[in-house]
Amino acid sequence: MRADFSSQDYFRNPAAEIEKLRSAGPVVDVRFPIVGKVWTTTTQDLADRVLKDSETFTIRRDDGTVAGFRWWMPRILLTLSNHMLSMDEPDHRRLRDIVDEAFRRRAVRDMEPRILAIADELAGELFAQGSPADLVDRYARTLPLSVICELLGLPLADRPKFTAWARRITGLTRPIGFLGMIPNMLAMRRYLENHLESVRQQGGEGLVAELVRVEKEGGQISRNEMVSMVFLLLFAGHETTTNLLGNGLFHLLRHPEQAALVRADPSLFHGAVEELLRYDGPVQRTARIPSEDVAIGGKTIGKGEMVMPFIGAADRDPAQFPEPDRLDIGRTDNRHIAFGWGIHFCLGAPLARVEGQIAINTLVRRLPRLAFVSDTVEYRQSLTLRGLKALPVKF
């Protein structure tokens, strides 16, 4: 089946393409840019099955390459993929256990006052450079990037570098784009290697210092895995939350009656963030590879063929959610899979939830007359992530 997952028409109205896919069956073979033919699920039940069955549906092939990696892609990309998100067991658990404690609910609660202070400061300065202001650049990106830099112990002064690198990494939809990405990824690796070495020699704070401590105490993590781990936490730790905030605030501006509800009753903010995650989540797809021939959704998928659970379709499955294309912050039965499922359930989910609740609450409360300049927005082109390039707003 042919489907255009890279056009702005699709990004602006994903429901139409999702319905087209779903009408073709619970499992559909689709051609994606870059990766070619893949099988994609269209229901939440099958997305759950693929994500939970980590023995049958693995992330790495027998030769060790990651799902979606092609022979012509730069090797630096594979080098920076030696982190827990691209590992099967037991390596996944070995690496995840090292950083798990820092992201537990108790540790996240300790960060709440700091997140609230950052949100208040950014909301107060949103229009400091005039109106309109880009809500993505000046708020949705700056807040989670500031939080993850402090958590990792990376200099806030280097945020412009991280932002530029993230934009170049996540905007790839054609093979030619990988050529231009190589210098940036080499620069990223060099930066992270130098920072880790500086902490080894001079000490430091945050999770980077904790990784160095684990290494010095003989922990089971290689130097390359340390670089990949910091790379993952830095970029996954702010890029997805940026999209959660940007997408979520955009939809609240489009649905002022929903924004009015949460403004009148702050207790609704938890449910509001969960509904925004379901309605327009920051991660749309992930990739797996069957370790053997497997029958699923009436199709037989061969060993080594790629399967992409379509999270965006799963979270708009009418069998799971009544009126799935309607934004309803009062929705109570809301078991979405925006953070994934199974062993690779998002490590940073508690942090992302708290950031979302605080950031959206702060903006809706402090700037009740906020409005977008135009409801015709442009999305960043990405096969896996979903987020706005910009969101110009006025007050």
pLDDT of 297: 94
pLDDT of 71: 55
Strand-pair partners of 155? none
CB 290 within 8 A of CB 305: yes
Strand-pair partners of 27? 41
| Whole-Å CA distances, 11 to 70, 255, 262, 286, 338 | 25, 18, 26, 17, 17
* Domain residue ranges of the chain, discontinuous segments joined by +: 8-394
Number of H helices, E strands in the chain: 16, 10
Helix (H, G, I), strand (E, B) or coil at 71: coil
CB 107 within 8 A of CB 101: yes
CB-based contacts of 115: which residues, under 8 Å, 6+ apart? 143, 147, 354, 355, 358, 359
CB-based contacts of 190: which residues, under 8 Å, 6+ apart? none
CB 259 within 8 A of CB 313: no
pLDDT of 376: 87
Helix (H, G, I), strand (E, B) or coil at 140: helix
User: How far from chain centre, in Å, is Cα 243?
Assistant: 7
CA separation for the pair 127, 121 (Å, rounded): 12
Give just the sign of the alpha carbon dihedral 362, 254, 333, 41. Answer: negative
DSSP for 169-183 reads: HHT--STTHHHHHHH
CB neighbours of residue 116 within 10 Å? 15
**Exposure string (b/e) for 276-312, b if CB count within 10 Å is 16 or more?**
bbbbbbbbbbbbbbbbeebebbeeebeeeebbbbbbb
H/E stretch holding 11? helix 8-12
pLDDT of 51: 97
pLDDT of 300: 96
pLDDT of 145: 93
Looking at domain 8-394, its CATH class is: mainly alpha
349-353 long-range contacts, CB within 8 A, separation 24+: 350/103, 350/104, 350/105, 350/108, 351/103, 351/108, 351/111, 351/147, 351/151, 351/237, 351/241, 352/144, 352/240, 352/241, 352/244, 353/270, 353/273
pLDDT of 188: 87
CA separation for the pair 209, 139 (Å, rounded): 28
pLDDT of 106: 67
What string of pLDDT tens digits covers the 395 residues of the chain? 666 777 888 888 889 889 999 999 999 999 877 778 899 999 999 999 999 999 999 999 888 778 766 655 666 766 778 889 899 999 999 999 988 877 876 678 889 999 999 999 999 999 999 999 999 999 999 999 999 999 999 998 998 888 887 776 665 555 555 666 777 788 888 999 999 999 999 998 889 999 999 999 888 899 999 999 999 998 888 889 999 999 999 999 999 999 999 999 988 989 999 999 999 999 999 999 999 999 999 999 999 999 999 999 999 999 999 999 999 999 988 999 999 999 999 999 999 999 999 999 999 999 989 998 988 899 988 888 899 999 999 98
Peptide bond preceding 90: is omega within 30 degrees of 0, i.e. cis? yes
pLDDT of 173: 53
